[in-house]
């Protein structure tokens, strides 16, 4: 198991690590999101003087420079903090951001929507999707094609038909910071199943502060929260 921390945090990187349980197995990826719980367990076995990590607080986050994204892999209850390594645009609507761990596991989003992963096992290789007005969030309706890597290391295309529902205004709190948002819920069917994605979008800027997005059949759902910007 490897230990992941957000890049460029320097001496305070340890303060941003959230404890997570680690569940492995023959099909577990070589590199996983934030398996820090098992790391701490092995350290504790070698020493009796392991200091407790302070909780992640807004006061702590306010001492940091730059943007950080908290990502939780639901099925493994693993959490990590990532920072942006690339921000770019292409010919399609929506800015692209690559969020990266120190050991190069990445999540790529377009307009806040997940389009690719690397290093998690069974990754999303690419996604063809429509973006909402202004290049932020999902379009009201449309098809989505997700290319995933299967257990045989082959690319498999999954086609989803998606519809968007507006669940109204909602104020959310992310580690001590409150945000007025619009809660949008996306219902997608296809590939033999049903997917529900949730987005909490800033009522003013359109920034997606928080989301719960499906990352394919191998990774499952990821919860994303932008803790700083």
Mean pLDDT of the chain: 79
Q: Which two tokens stand for residue 205?
A: 């800027």
Secondary structure class of 15 (helix, strand, coil): helix
State both tokens at 102.
Answer: 């120190």
Extract the runs of DSSP E, i.e. beta strands, from 27-140.
68-73, 78-88, 96-100, 106-110, 113-118, 124-128
Closest CA to 199 of 128, 142, 139, 137: 137
pLDDT band at 1 (very low <50, low <70, confident <90, very high): very low
8 Å CB contact between 144 and 128? yes
Mean per-residue pLDDT for 122-138?
88
Position 46 confidence tier, pLDDT thresholds 50, 70, 90: very low
Q: What is the pLDDT of residues 156-197, one digit of tens each?
A: 999 999 999 999 999 999 999 999 999 999 999 997 899 999
Cα dist from 121 to 29, 85, 125, 193, whole Å: 5, 21, 11, 21
Q: Which of 93, 109, 199, 213 is nearest to 160 (CA)?
A: 213
Kindly report the number of other CB atoms within 10 A of residue 88's CB atom. 8
Domain residue ranges in the chain: 10-137+144-149+209-228
| Geometric angle at alpha carbon 186, from 225 and 130, rounded to 5° | 90
CA–CA distance, 39 with 54 (Å, rounded to integer):
17
pLDDT at 155: 92
In this prediction, residue 97 carries a pLDDT of 96
pLDDT attached to residue 194: 95
Q: pTM value? A: 0.76
| CB contact at 8 A, 110 and 96 | yes
- For residue 95, what are its two tokens? 């800015």
Query: Which residue carries 């759902």 as its tokens?
Result: 221
């Amino acid at each position: 198991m490897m230990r992941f921390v957000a890049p460029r945090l320097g001496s305070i990187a340890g303060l941003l690590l959230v404890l997570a349980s680690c569940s492995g197995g023959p099909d577990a990826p070589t590199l996983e999101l934030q398996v820090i719980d098992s790391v701490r367990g092995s350290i504790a076995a070698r020493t009796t003087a392991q200091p407790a990590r302070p909780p992640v607080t807004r006061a702590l986050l306010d001492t940091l420079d730059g943007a950080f994204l908290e990502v939780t892999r639901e099925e493994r209850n693993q959490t990590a903090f990532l920072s942006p390594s690339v921000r770019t645009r292409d010919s399609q609507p929506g800015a692209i951001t690559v969020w990266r761990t120190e050991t190069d596991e990445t999540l790529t989003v377009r307009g806040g929507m997940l389009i690719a992963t690397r290093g998690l096992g069974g990754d999303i290789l690419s996604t063809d999707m429509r973006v909402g007005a202004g290049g932020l969030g999902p379009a009201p309706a449309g098809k989505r094609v997700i290319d995933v890597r299967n257990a045989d290391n082959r690319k498999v295309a999954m086609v989803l038909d998606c519809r968007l529902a507006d669940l109204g205004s909602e104020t959310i709190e992310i580690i001590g910071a409150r945000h007025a948002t619009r809660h949008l819920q996306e219902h997608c069917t296809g590939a033999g199943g049903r997917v529900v994605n949730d987005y909490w979008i800033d009522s003013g800027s359109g920034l997606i502060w928080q989301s719960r997005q499906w990352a394919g059949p191998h990774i499952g759902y990821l919860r994303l929260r932008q803790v700083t910007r």
